[in-house]
């Protein structure tokens, strides 16, 4: 709380609250994968990126900062949420410092790139820190259905905004930060123009397998089948961010392996995990099937609920720790990565048998367009409006005794 107040006091006159109000009136400008690719490969110009980001970053930051301010007061008072707010205030102020700088000033442009890298590093732990704040709130005040619904709505939008802001920061810093990754010389920033989907899936499997072997002393095998219906006989490649795909498949493999090992522990025979990859004219689809016993239909939605995790609260120490360990955020964040470029992640479960997880990715870079939250009247109403009763009857846990009813 003190840090946030100090930052607000230290800002220039009429600055942060007014600037947030001003920039939140504008809608973010979603970019397509093709636009990211074309800019980086053909017209990579630090000056152009500087001019775009100094306008776009304040808009994206301000839009989500307005939504943070609509959270319950007790949640806003938690130390973790206060810390996250202070990061956003500081980052917005640092970007606004370049608002009136000349685009012809090479020194300012170089300084801007350094600032972008600093902001990116500052926000490394935004996801677990906000998760810590939600856990602190839940432990202190409990959760009612309306608050749970509002927090779920907010976190989906907050984390999607964070993914999009980080995408912009990564592209600029990787393209103009002076360092080229020797392992991926053909990448355009964080984007691989020819992302080998099968290779990324195998990498995710091997990482999850190492964890599974460490914990259970064994692991399920992988059976992978691929079908390129778009270009038969050709490698399965799309324009995509490999780190996003890796995050999704690694999380799904971890869940599938844990379920498989525990469901089949008595037999000590562990059925393999089947993965089917198909590339069509519009979609690239990855289906992962396990024999881990599945979950009841009523619990499927809970798997994507941030407030539902029953795991013990982990300590947030450094960004080098296993991401989201213990918060139960793996699946909802993975779904956001899929949805970010207009894809999706869905679960289909057969209780007693196993679960199919399906990732959908747009096959065309022109259709892979950022999905960005916008602060407007509709969003405001979601937080402030009264949630009306359901217009479907809720079944009782016990059937009514019809013999007690008398005819009229």
Cα separation, 317 vs 312, whole angstroms: 15
Active-site choice (138, 247, 263, 274) = 247
Helix 145-176 to helix 377-384 angle (10° resolution) is: 140
Cα–Cα distance, 333 to 252 (Å, whole number): 12
What is the rounded CA–CA span in Å between residue 3 and residue 258? 41
Instruction: Assess whether 254 carries a catalytic annotation.
Output: yes
Q: Is 42 a catalytic residue?
A: no
Quick check: is 305 catalytic?
A: no
Which residue in this structure is represented by tokens 């393209």? 175
Q: For the chain, give the number of residues.
A: 408
For 240, phi then psi, to 5°, come to -160, 170
Catalytic residue among 34, 110, 254, 287: 254
Catalytic residue, chosen from 255, 263, 274, 362, is 255
398 is an active site residue: no
Phi/psi of residue 56, each to 5°? -80, -40
| Dist. CA 359–CA 339, nearest whole Å | 10
**271 Cβ contact partners less than 8 Å away, ≥ 6 residues apart:** 220, 260, 264, 290, 291, 354
- Whether the CA torsion 379, 382, 383, 385 is positive or negative: it is positive
Is the separation of the CB atoms in 193 and 41 below 8 Å? Answer: yes
Q: Indicate which residue of 56, 136, 251, 370 is catalytic.
A: 251
Cα separation, 291 vs 300, in Å, equals 16
Q: Return the active site residues.
A: 247, 251, 254-255
């Amino acid at each position: 709380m003190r840090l946030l107040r100090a930052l607000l006091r230290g800002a220039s006159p009429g600055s942060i609250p007014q600037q947030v109000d001003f920039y939140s009136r504008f809608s973010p400008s979603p970019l397509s994968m093709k636009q990211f690719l074309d800019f980086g490969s053909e017209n990579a110009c630090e000056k152009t990126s500087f001019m775009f980001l100094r306008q776009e970053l304040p808009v994206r930051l301000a839009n989500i900062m307005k939504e943070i301010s609509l959270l319950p007061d007790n949640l806003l008072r938690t130390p973790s949420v206060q810390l996250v707010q202070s990061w956003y205030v500081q980052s917005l102020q640092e970007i606004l410092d370049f608002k009136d700088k000349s685009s012809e000033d090479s020194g300012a442009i170089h300084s801007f790139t350094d600032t972008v890298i600093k902001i990116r590093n500052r926000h490394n732990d935004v996801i677990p820190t906000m998760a810590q704040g939600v856990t602190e709130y839940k432990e202190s005040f409990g959760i009612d259905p309306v608050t749970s619904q509002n927090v779920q709505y907010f976190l989906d939008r907050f984390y999607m905004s964070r993914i999009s802001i980080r995408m912009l920061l990564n592209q600029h810093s990787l393209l103009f930060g002076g360092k080229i990754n020797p392992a991926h010389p053909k990448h355009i920033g964080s984007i691989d123009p020819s992302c080998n989907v099968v290779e990324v899936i195998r990498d995710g499997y091997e990482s999850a397998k190492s964890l599974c072997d460490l914990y259970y002393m064994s692991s399920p095998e992988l059976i992978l089948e691929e079908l390129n219906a778009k270009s038969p006989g050709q490698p399965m490649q799309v324009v995509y961010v490999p780190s996003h795909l890796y995050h999704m498949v690694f999380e799904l493999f971890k869940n599938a392996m844990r379920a498989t090992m525990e469901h089949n522990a008595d037999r000590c025979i562990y059925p393999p995990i089947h993965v089917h990859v198909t590339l069509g004219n519009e979609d690239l689809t990855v289906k992962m099937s396990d024999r881990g016993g599945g979950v009841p239909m009523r619990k499927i939605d809970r798997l994507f609920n941030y407030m539902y995790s029953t795991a013990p609260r982990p300590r947030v120490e450094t960004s080098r720790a296993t991401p989201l360990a213990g918060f139960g955020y793996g699946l909802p964040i993975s779904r956001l990565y899929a949805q970010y470029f207009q894809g999706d992640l869905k679960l289909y479960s057969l209780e007693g048998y196993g679960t199919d997880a399906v990732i959908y990715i747009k096959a065309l870079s022109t259709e892979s367009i950022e999905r960005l939250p916008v602060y407007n009247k509709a969003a405001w109403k979601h937080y402030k409006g009264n949630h009306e009763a359901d217009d479907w009857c809720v079944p009782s846990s016990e059937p009514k005794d019809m013999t007690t009813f008398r005819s009229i």
